[in-house]
Structure 1
Amino acid sequence: MNENKSYGLSTATAMIVGICVGSGIFFKVDDILTFTGGNVFLGALVFIIGAFSIIFGSISLSNLAAISNKSGGMVGYFEDFYSQSIACAVGWFQTFLYYPTIAVVVAWAAGIYTCLLFGLPDNLDLQMGIGFIYLLFFYLMNIISSKLGGQFQVISSVVKLIPLIGVGIVAIFFKQPQPEIPANVEPIHLTNVGMGWLAALAPTAFSYDGWAISLSISDEVKNPKKNMPLALTIAPIIVLFVYLSYFLGMNKILGPEYILSMGDGAVMTIGNLLLGKSGEVVILVFILISMLGVVNGVSLGHIRMPYALATKEMIPSSKKVIQNNKGIFNNYSAMIGLFCGIFWFFIHYITQKFGLIKTGDISEIAIVFGYLFYSILYIKVMMLYKQKVIHNFFTGIISPILALIGGLIIILGGFSSNPASMTIFFGICSFFCLSGYLFYKKQKS
């Protein structure tokens, strides 16, 4: 889309950290504790397993980032190392389902915390309306200026680390007793869930996801063969440290039963304990900025995907999309991304309004399905090592094996969390992939 190299190592790293940290971690902690029956040890274990998939997965894919010249991130990798028809299937899944569902759900979550911040009613329509405004704003901002989007990403990434690391540090010195569950709140007690804790891997996958989105801007990163592998290695380690710091700190200060009972609002109690009523506002501001950073990062990557597919003739009217004329509405790649976001926002609203998905949301299903594609790439990395294209044993064999194990566990956990919804939406994901595959086959025949 842009021949200028707009992003350096700091932006690429910040994009990964910024998308991963600051969305799921704030409103999925209680979900993870619910699935683990309030067991803090199992919750920490779930975060570590999730880290396996992101840390070793990103280290594995850094091999491909170092040798691939194709644009489009994962689509380029499949094009380079498998086939163009399979790459098209991946591209359709990412463009028309994966990116927009993540952007939509996090924009909605930002709407929820905006209502909490300003004391607005706990109303789905209001939350979704505010979220829709956020969604439009960040898509349009990144269409107008990629540099402005990149700068916001760096700022929001730094801002969001303050409360997350701060909670962990405060917990070390915190001596006050854990707060009592309010009398008007029904308490949820610790339970033994057996192997049911594996279901916690679905919300954990949401908390960690986003690192692969940064691959979509690899062709706009300065010295990508050096900087992308570095970013893909550094950022996940930062994410794991931040997550464990926040999760363990939250549980020490509040206790698992309090978090289970209070749900998403539990985090405000920490602000209140430290700074009084104003502390709740400070915490909510940090959370809101963090979530908006995620929406920004996802939209920044999403609006580039149709253009990347068009350069490979993988979507209809590719020549028109490539033209990328001046003006917001003549930027066809960005408009495709924007309208995909609007479409899935409506679908998400319907599923929430009528309770069509009992646990989780549409983004978790797309995220879990995405691990199938990651796994295929991990296998290719090992094949390239055997072919002596990749020479490092750790990054070529050990890392992809560990990433593959972590990915398969997340897929298993995703299905165990909601078998019916997962089956239906896996079918929808497969439909998008098959449509892309058949389109490319027909296009080339």
Structure 2
Amino acid sequence: MIVGICVGSGIFFKVDDILKYTGGSVKLGVLVFIIGAFSIIFGSLSLTNLEAMTDNTGGMVAYFEDFFNKKIASGFGWYQTFLYFPTVIAVVSWVSGIYTILLFELPNTLNWQIAIGLVYLLTFYAINILSKTIGGHFQVVSSIIKLIPLLGVGIVAFFWHQAAPSVPQDIPIQHTSNVGFGWLAALAPMAFSFDGWPIALSISNEVKDSKKTMPKALILGPLIVLIVYLSYFLGMTHILGSEYILSVGDGAVTKIGELLLGRSGEKILLFFVLISVLGVVNGVILAHLRMPKALMTKQMLPVKQSKTKNPKAFELHSALISFLVTISWYVIHYFTQKFGILPMGDISEIAVVFGYCFYITLYIKVFKMYRNQEIHHRFTGQIAPVLAVFGGLIIVLGGFTTSPIGLLFSFAICSLIYFAGIKSYQKLNA
């Protein structure tokens, strides 16, 4: 689940961006990947302590409920249910539409992108509502499929001895250079490519023997993601060379497909990219369907008592809320793209940075619990939280330096939903 959500389409087109920030230095590129992984690897290592200490449902909502208080948990739960999950689903569904258009050479207009994305969104909602197992099986299959090209490029590169291809004559050659500390600018966008791992926590109560399984998943999942990313990055730079990638940009992905798979390589690679994105859509929907039910069970979201008596009806009610919220954000996304309303790229970016402010508070809580001897493992209780806070701050500061106005706008929207969640809990438990 963690691998399936974190590994989306972005990594396929991230290599040239990383090299531009590092001046073409492969060593600095590797360092960027490793530091960028701090927020997920050490964050997940820290949270294994909390996961092992709670039997509650709702993922991170349960952590705030058990280790802070229910009002904060309700606010965070509303943020995840009404903003973070649905905006990610909306945007990634749209991106799926874009890659489908590229794969089948359809008209590349916003209306076509939105229409195809809507078909995917409706399909995966239907699949996951009608059957818990089909959505889970697709998640496993899509996770395996998306790893094939990423690991494959790294493995082929190990045996690759041909010279790097020449830069096309009509493209100016970009040479490697010394960027000083300019490479630090790559840390924020790289850290964003690791985002999404907390989503897997929302289904922890449905995992067999979750007390043992989830801590292992939180450790192994992020490490697998890092290994996959490094394999692809090192493979690309070895086969194509830094100067070629710097010069042609995203066109390097097309070239690697052509070199390894022939003339049809670009289409084959686009197919893998599409499966990667659809895996993210399915995974986030799979998790989001459970969130309204978890909040209603905790009296953080209003629900009629008659609906809670029938488990099947209760689940359908939760799914309906999830669907309606997501569709609403999908419509909002359409208009923001059509009229260029948002100061940032898309609606999903509204919630990402705000989420890390919450994650950082959890890491600090783990550190305090270690100091109070409630947690006894030094690495996961002391060292990992400190490094996780560092990784989280990189994302928050990176988001602010990239778009200060956009971040303030995002925080205003997130804060409104967060405080609405707190108000809802107070009203329901007055």
Query: 1:157 is matched with which residue: 137, 140, 143?
Result: 143
Go from structure 1 to structure 2 and tell me whether the alpha carbon gap of 1:381 and 1:284 turns closer, same or farther (over 3 Å shift): same
Query: 1:389 is matched with which residue: 367, 374, 381?
Result: 374
Residues 229-261 of structure 1 deviation map (CA, whole Å, 9 limit, x = unaligned): 011111111111001111222233334454455
Structure 1: how far apart are the matches of 2:43 and 2:177? 33
Which residue does the alignment assign to 1:133?
A: 119
Structure 1: how far apart are the matches of 2:321 and 2:19? 38
Query: 2:362 is matched with which residue: 362, 374, 377?
Result: 377
In the TM superposition, what is the alpha-carbon distance from 1:52 to its structure 2 partner? 1.1
Which residue does the alignment assign to 2:191?
A: 205
Which residue does the alignment assign to 1:254?
A: 240
In the TM superposition, what is the alpha-carbon distance from 1:382 to its structure 2 partner? 1.4
In the TM superposition, what is the alpha-carbon distance from 1:352 to its structure 2 partner? 2.7
Residues 249-303 of structure 1 deviation map (CA, whole Å, 9 limit, x = unaligned): 2233334454455554532221111121122222122221111111111110011
Instruction: Tell me whether 1:144 sits opposite 2:130 in the alignment.
Output: yes
Partner of 1:22, secondary structure, is coil
Partner of 2:193, secondary structure, is helix
Which residue does the alignment assign to 1:115?
A: 101
After the TM superposition, which of the residue ranges 233-242 and 356-365 deviates more from structure 2? Answer: 356-365
Structure 1: how far apart are the matches of 2:213 and 2:188? 30
Structure 1: how far apart are the matches of 2:318 and 2:20? 40
Query: 1:227 is matched with which residue: 208, 213, 218?
Result: 213
Structure 1: how far apart are the matches of 2:187 and 2:347? 15
Residues 99-137 of structure 1 deviation map (CA, whole Å, 9 limit, x = unaligned): 112222222222222122112233232222212211121
Which residue does the alignment assign to 1:9?
A: none
Query: 2:388 is matched with which residue: 397, 403, 406?
Result: 403
Q: Is the 8 A contact 2:36 2:188 kept in 1?
A: no
Partner amino acid, structure 2, of 1:88: S
Q: Is the 8 A contact 1:75 1:88 kept in 2?
A: yes
Residues 301-340 of structure 1 deviation map (CA, whole Å, 9 limit, x = unaligned): 011000000001111326466456647x981111111122
Structure 2: how far apart are the matches of 1:190 and 1:361? 32
Query: 2:297 is matched with which residue: 294, 311, 323?
Result: 311
Go from structure 1 to structure 2 and tell me whether the alpha carbon gap of 1:343 and 1:88 turns closer, same or farther (over 3 Å shift): same
Q: What is the TM-score with the length of structure 2 in the denominator?
A: 0.92
1:23-422 alignment runs, 5 A limit = 23-36=9-22, 39-182=25-168, 197-256=183-242, 258-259=244-245, 262-317=248-303, 319=305, 322=308, 326=312, 331-357=316-342, 360-422=345-407
Go from structure 1 to structure 2 and tell me whether the alpha carbon gap of 1:321 and 1:290 turns closer, same or farther (over 3 Å shift): farther
Structure 1: how far apart are the matches of 2:337 and 2:169? 28
Instruction: Tell me whether 1:423 sits opposite 2:408 in the alignment.
Output: yes
Q: Is the 8 A contact 2:56 2:62 kept in 1?
A: yes
Partner amino acid, structure 1, of 2:317: Y
Consecutive unaligned residues in structure 1, runs of 5 or more = 1-14
After the TM superposition, which of the residue ranges 373-382 and 170-179 deviates more from structure 2? Answer: 170-179
Residues 378-427 of structure 1 deviation map (CA, whole Å, 9 limit, x = unaligned): 11111222222211111111111111111111111121222221121121
Structure 1: how far apart are the matches of 2:383 and 2:159? 38
Q: Is the 8 A contact 1:23 1:106 kept in 2?
A: no
In the TM superposition, what is the alpha-carbon distance from 1:171 to its structure 2 partner? 2.1
Partner of 2:413, secondary structure, is helix
In the TM superposition, what is the alpha-carbon distance from 1:195 to its structure 2 partner? 5.2
Partner amino acid, structure 2, of 1:43: G
- Identity over aligned pairs, percent: 61
Consecutive unaligned residues in structure 2, runs of 5 or more = none
Residues 61-103 of structure 1 deviation map (CA, whole Å, 9 limit, x = unaligned): 0111111111000000100000000000100111111111222
Partner amino acid, structure 2, of 1:116: L
Go from structure 1 to structure 2 and tell me whether the alpha carbon gap of 1:82 and 1:100 turns closer, same or farther (over 3 Å shift): same
Q: Is the 8 A contact 2:192 2:395 kept in 1?
A: no
In the TM superposition, what is the alpha-carbon distance from 1:203 to its structure 2 partner? 2.9
In the TM superposition, what is the alpha-carbon distance from 1:209 to its structure 2 partner? 1.4
Go from structure 1 to structure 2 and tell me whether the alpha carbon gap of 1:226 and 1:248 turns closer, same or farther (over 3 Å shift): same
Go from structure 1 to structure 2 and tell me whether the alpha carbon gap of 1:441 and 1:69 turns closer, same or farther (over 3 Å shift): same
In the TM superposition, what is the alpha-carbon distance from 1:220 to its structure 2 partner? 0.7
Q: Is the 8 A contact 1:306 1:321 kept in 2?
A: no
Q: What is the TM-score with the length of structure 1 in the denominator?
A: 0.89
Structure 2: how far apart are the matches of 1:152 and 1:90? 29
After the TM superposition, which of the residue ranges 347-356 and 425-434 deviates more from structure 2? Answer: 347-356
After the TM superposition, which of the residue ranges 350-359 and 300-309 deviates more from structure 2? Answer: 350-359
In the TM superposition, what is the alpha-carbon distance from 1:219 to its structure 2 partner? 0.8
Structure 1: how far apart are the matches of 2:25 and 2:109? 31
Structure 1: how far apart are the matches of 2:71 and 2:343? 35
Structure 2: how far apart are the matches of 1:75 and 1:241? 29
